Amino acid sequence: MKRFVYINDDEASKELCCDNRISNTKYNLWNFFPKNLLEQFSRFMNQYFLLIACLQLWSLITPVNPASTWGPLIFIFAVSASKEAWDDYHRYLSDKKANEREVWIVKHGIKTHIQAQDIQVGNIVWLRENDEVPCDLVLLGTSDPQGVCYVETAALDGETDLKTRVIPSACVGIDLELLHKMKGVIECPIPDKDIRRFDANMRLFPPFIDNDVCSLTIKNTLLQSCYLRNTEWACGVSVYTGNQTKLGMCRGVAEPKLTAMDAMIDKLTGAIFVFQIVVVMVLGVAGNVWKDTEARKQWYVQYPEEAPWYELLVIPLRFELLCSIMIPISIKVSLDLVKGLYAKFIEWDVEMVDQETGTASYAANTAISEDLGQVEYILTDKTGTLTDNKMIFRRCCIGGIFYGNENGDALKDTQLLDAITSGSTDVIRFLTVMAICNTVIPVRSKAGDIIYKAQSQDEDALVIAAAKLNMVFVGKNANLLELMFNGVMIRYEVLEILEFTSDRKRMSVVVKDCQNGKTILLSKGADESMLPSAYAGQQTRTIAEAVEHYAQLGLRTLCLAWRELEEDEYLEWSVKFKEASSVLVDREWRIAEVCQRLERDLTILGVTAIEDRLQDGVPETIETLRKAGINFWMLTGDKQNTAIQIALSCNFISPEPKGQLLLIDGKTEEDVSRSLERVLLTMRTTTSEPKDVAFVIDGWALEIALKHHRKDFVELAILSRTAICCRVTPSQKAQLVEILKSCDYRTLAIGDGGNDVRMIQQADIGVGISGREGLQAARAADYSIGRFRFLKRLILVHGRYSYNRTAFLSQYSFYKSLLICFIQIFFSFISGVSGTSLFNSVSLMAYNVFYTSVPVLVSVIDKDLSEATVMQHPQILFYCQAGRLLNPSTFAGWFGRSLFHAIVVFVITIHAYAYEKSEMEELGMVALSGCIWLQAFVVAQETNSFTVLQHLSIWGNLVGFYVLNFLFSAIPSSGMYTIMFRLCSQPSYWITMFLIVGAGMGPIFALKYYRYTYRPSKINILQQAERMGGPILTLGNIETQPRTIEKDLSPTSIMTQPKNRSPVYEPLLSESPNATRRSFGPGAPFEFFQSQSRLSSSSGYTRNCKDN
């Protein structure tokens, strides 16, 4: 599909009627309420509560005032709607500012001032220096005589270095006055979101040019939200406007990610719902039976002789309304609120601020903080993520001679300096390729120094190194390049640029030497793409050995080449290149095919070796996280040996003999199959040898493995703890993440460049590093950090605390709702199973919203262990990874606690007040008071680190309960008139509260004391050590038992029987039969603390792995 944009012609462009109004809002004044309500009621829980609220409007069945449900429901909806409205209003203000910005356009040949939102497709837009580009433009003219301008694209792709944009060849030489009158047509694709591609053609109408077709690329465009820099003015024709710009097409709301804890809460909610239905059916039947047998015998019960057809439904529906509070109505809002606070804690953490750049951490996704504490696999990029992305030229090999081997710095190698002084032809050609085979822009500072603006750190390092070796790139004036070598000015005219692509793995420039008129091809690229292109007679063995040698040192390598072109050859090729550049379909493939014809018979000049140092703290971070049971995969586009050396230096893998690397390679299906089978066999038969086993695979073998041997590769992924994947593409990175996710592992992907975006978005948690490659990864990620070492704190501190707090909050929310519901059920047994409510409507309405919410919300600052202890003992993350704090077993404990407390409250209350001829309202208030007292002590008991704020919230909330009820008791129409005054004046009331607290909390405290003293967990031991202030004792290393593979296991048996992964040993975390975790393989020791319990095995653990 394509569209035609007519330049400076409003009538012809009318069909492209989209104006330039930007709209990122979800709502407007007219659709906010219906649309927001529709979104809220798309959730099952909200639909359920709405149904309950509507049933309460039926006066025949409702046991309480409908306000008891409608009040909290409206309050919760209002909170959610207010948050949405607030966020949308800020989006509206941002849009309004952008839409009302004033710009210059040409209308009827005259420059006119209009608002940016009024720009139409086809308008000519004028920009001045530092102006923001209001829409996507095709450049027509600039203040530079050569038609060049500079743009900053940080708002688009995060890259802060300036980029060059040039006018199309058809516009060269057009006078400034004629630009106002320009007419023509642009044939371009329909709007898309690819910010790196624009394949279009332009034809100017006479008298400007004789209808020649001029091809357009992304180099000829100015995209929306970029800024014009170092250029006095520029003008262009608008081709995409409003939300149809490339940036506008990239906008959108990412699909929400469901955390493991959210999934568990949904399952528990479903279980409670089933339990509720069973209870309602049983009580409904019992109520109808009692009514037909016993109730009619009572003189005070007056049932009609003939009842309507729906009479049998009345009592079950009354119990449904009574039991509806089993599912806490406030849990969704409470979780959203505390998760938002968790995200703020990450942003406020001063220990996660990069002091070098001042970059703070940022949480773009506020809903998945607890998933950080359950990470099992980390998939990481290498360059810029593990390394600093500060490239330093260290060594080189030119013409078979190695430079920099002795002192590790080629720039100080006297042999190389002597070769430069003597004018060695090979060395001069080598330096020339280093200096000008790139897209670097030299800029003069105010002090007169040359500053290089490079899109690639490798290019920046090469140009700087060439300058230090006397080949100084001093200026770039349109297509004219100026070099200063030993005081002599050398000029080259750029004829064509063959840009780098991930498929070609090289870039080239065709230049003309202005001194002798020769046409030369300069190339640089990866060795696997350059060496096969060498001319037939050249011996490349030395070059290959140099590449291998530098890779083993962990250096990044590039091969440099040169070829002199015949004039006729170049002219013939240029015609084909122009034709390929003009096609709209498969342009990139056609250009690559044409480039291949020129990039042949090359003279390989030598190899550059660039050092990319590890970031500070990377080895320590990886070692700590591996102790926490997290597995690491490195996914990189670098050479295999380079990746292995980096992996060794950052504790990714262990050197021999402790570590073992298994290589998967091959260029054919048969070779890869044989290699994969060998590695799998080794993995399966590895027993208790203390070896750190990892596998290495390159992109070619990976593609074959995923296509033809996917099941075997998935089995390998399950068995291995560490993997190094080299020469992989962005799509392959995403595929590897998907494979691990398909086996129900929680994955975290971390990277810093645009090639990591797909991987980051595919993972359960995406982390971007605000690095030197720009902010593409950081913007696409759920979390962005300044340095890799902050990942340790992000996971161990913030992730673990978030998991612990959310686990408590969610289960406590169910506990308090079940407590009040069980009391209602018990009361039904002494009220004729009639569905009568013990509590009045005001109490029920305030119960969830006010009485029990404040202490829980303050639990977001609770810490079971200090941050220092958590960082010192990362092994305790196993408890979070295994889901030890929120699972059916722990939930059953809270369920039993609510049932026990309900029995205590009900029995004591009934025996204390039922025979005193008390009003039912008084009985209900005593029971409610007992619930509030118990919950205050439950929260206090579950709190690990008390602060003034927590004391105020727990005990202040208890005081607030009485203050509110004193106020309600003073209102005659409240239904509670004088009740609290009467109760509080009675000593029996306070004795009842004492008995309820003593009977309810006594066994709980006793059980906790027994477990804390005689059967402590590893966390309990650390807590005791912290409180005593003494050293933490350890047992040394506890080795996990090796994974065992059944002898009769076929190569794909693990995948053919996905529901039984018993061949993979998975140790227990404690004595609980439900606390299981997967094994981390042999050679994965972890220290624990002095305890009588030890890890034991379980053969019954299963994990479902989807068959791919």
Indicate if the pLDDT at residue 1078 is higher than 80.
Answer: no
Most confident of the ranges 51-60, 575-584, 606-615: 606-615
User: What pLDDT shows up at residue 831?
Assistant: 81
* Beta-strand runs (E) in 8-152: 102-107, 110-115, 124-128, 136-142, 148-152
Give 497-562 as a DSSP string: EE---TTT-EEEEEEEETTT--EEEEEEE-HHHHGGGB-TT---HHHHHHHHHHHHTT-EEEEEEE
User: What pLDDT shows up at residue 916?
Assistant: 63
Indicate if the pLDDT at residue 1044 is higher than 50.
Answer: no
User: What pLDDT shows up at residue 395?
Assistant: 93
How far is Cα 471 from Cα 468, in angstroms, rounded to an integer? 7
User: pLDDT tens digit string along 941-967?
Assistant: 998 888 888 888 888 888 888 988 888
Indicate if the pLDDT at residue 669 is higher than 70.
Answer: yes
Q: Give the confidence band of 640 by pLDDT, cuts at 50, 70, 90.
A: confident
How far is Cα 915 from Cα 930, in angstroms, rounded to an integer? 18
Least confident of 205-209, 300-304, 423-427: 300-304
Indicate if the pLDDT at residue 846 is higher than 70.
Answer: yes
Within 10 angstroms of residue 827's Cβ, the number of other Cβ atoms is: 22
* Beta-strand runs (E) in 143-255: 148-152, 163-166, 184-189, 200-204, 213-216, 221-222, 227-229, 233-240
**What average pLDDT does this structure show over 500-505?**
77
User: pLDDT tens digit string along 810-836?
Assistant: 999 899 999 999 998 999 888 888 778
Q: Which has the higher per-residue pLDDT, 1058 or 834?
A: 834
Q: Give the confidence band of 1098 by pLDDT, cuts at 50, 70, 90.
A: very low
User: What pLDDT shows up at residue 1073?
Assistant: 32
Residue 838 CA to chain centroid, in angstroms?
48
**What average pLDDT does this structure show over 606-616?**
88
The conformation of residue 847, written as its DSSP 8-state character, comes to: I
What residues form DSSP beta bridges with 452?
A: 442
User: pLDDT tens digit string along 872-926?
Assistant: 999 999 999 888 899 999 999 999 999 999 999 999 998 887 666 667 888 888 9
**What average pLDDT does this structure show over 398-422?**
89
User: What pLDDT shows up at residue 1072?
Assistant: 35
Task: List the catalytic residue out of 381, 458, 698, 862.
Answer: 381
User: pLDDT tens digit string along 972-987?
Assistant: 876 777 888 888 888 8
Indicate if the pLDDT at residue 638 is higher than 70.
Answer: yes
To which H or E segment does residue 909 belong? helix 888-913
How far is Cα 263 from Cα 948, in angstroms, rounded to an integer? 34
Mapping DSSP to helix (H, G, I), strand (E, B) and coil, where does residue 799 land?
helix
Q: Give the confidence band of 50 by pLDDT, cuts at 50, 70, 90.
A: confident
Indicate if the pLDDT at residue 83 is higher than 90.
Answer: no
User: What pLDDT shows up at residue 383?
Assistant: 79
Give the pair of three-digit tokens for residue 598.
């020129």
User: What pLDDT shows up at residue 357?
Assistant: 80
**What average pLDDT does this structure show over 42-55?**
77
Residue positions counted in the chain: 1108
Burial of 110 (0-12, 13-18, 19+ CB in 10 A): exposed
How far is Cα 430 from Cα 322, in angstroms, rounded to an integer? 84
Residue 1041 CA to chain centroid, in angstroms?
34
Q: Which has the higher per-residue pLDDT, 729 or 702?
A: 702
Nearest to 392 by CA among 465, 470, 466: 465
Give 680-727 as a DSSP string: HHHHHH--S---EEEEEEEHHHHHHHHHH-HHHHHHHHHH-SEEEEES
Q: Give the confidence band of 300 by pLDDT, cuts at 50, 70, 90.
A: low
Angle between helices 800-828 and 331-348 (to 10 degrees): 160
User: pLDDT tens digit string along 751-770?
Assistant: 887 778 888 888 999 998 87
Helix-strand-coil percent breakdown of the chain, rounded to 5? 45, 20, 35
Q: In what order do the strands lie in the sheet with 227-229?
A: 163-166, 148-152, 227-229
381 is catalytic: yes
**What average pLDDT does this structure show over 1003-1024?**
89
Indicate if the pLDDT at residue 568 is higher than 50.
Answer: yes
User: What pLDDT shows up at residue 317?
Assistant: 83
User: What pLDDT shows up at residue 1096?
Assistant: 32
Q: Give the confidence band of 1074 by pLDDT, cuts at 50, 70, 90.
A: very low
Residue 621 CA to chain centroid, in angstroms?
19
Distances (CA, A) of 340 to 150, 366, 370, 769, 947: 40, 5, 11, 21, 21
Indicate if the pLDDT at residue 794 is higher than 70.
Answer: yes
To which H or E segment does residue 924 belong? helix 920-942
How far is Cα 158 from Cα 136, in angstroms, rounded to an integer? 18
Give 750-788 as a DSSP string: EE-SGGGHHHHHHSSEEEEE-BTTBSHHHHHSSEEESST
Q: Which has the higher per-residue pLDDT, 917 or 88?
A: 88
User: What pLDDT shows up at residue 564?
Assistant: 92
Burial of 969 (0-12, 13-18, 19+ CB in 10 A): buried
Indicate if the pLDDT at residue 54 is higher than 70.
Answer: yes
Q: Which residue's structure tokens are 């804390």?
A: 1012
Single pTM value for the model:
0.77
User: What pLDDT shows up at residue 771?
Assistant: 61
How far is Cα 134 from Cα 127, in angstroms, rounded to an integer? 9
Indicate if the pLDDT at residue 1045 is higher than 60.
Answer: no
Contact between 785 and 769 under an 8 Å Cβ cutoff? The reply is: yes
**What average pLDDT does this structure show over 717-723?**
87
User: What pLDDT shows up at residue 349?
Assistant: 92
User: pLDDT tens digit string along 149-196?
Assistant: 888 876 666 566 678 888 888 888 788 878 888 888 898 888 887 777
Indicate if the pLDDT at residue 434 is higher than 90.
Answer: yes
% of the chain with per-residue pLDDT over 90? 25
What residues form DSSP beta bridges with 148?
A: 166
Q: Which residue's structure tokens are 């923001």?
A: 132
Can the peptide bond before residue 532 be classed as cis, meaning omega within 30 degrees of 0? no
User: What pLDDT shows up at residue 77?
Assistant: 80
User: What pLDDT shows up at residue 1067?
Assistant: 28
User: What pLDDT shows up at residue 87?
Assistant: 76
Residue type present at position 925: M
How far is Cα 539 from Cα 50, in angstroms, rounded to an integer? 79
**What average pLDDT does this structure show over 711-733?**
87
Least confident of 79-83, 263-267, 516-520, 664-668: 79-83
% of the chain with per-residue pLDDT over 70? 86
Residue type present at position 574: S
What mean pLDDT, rounded, does the chain reach?
81
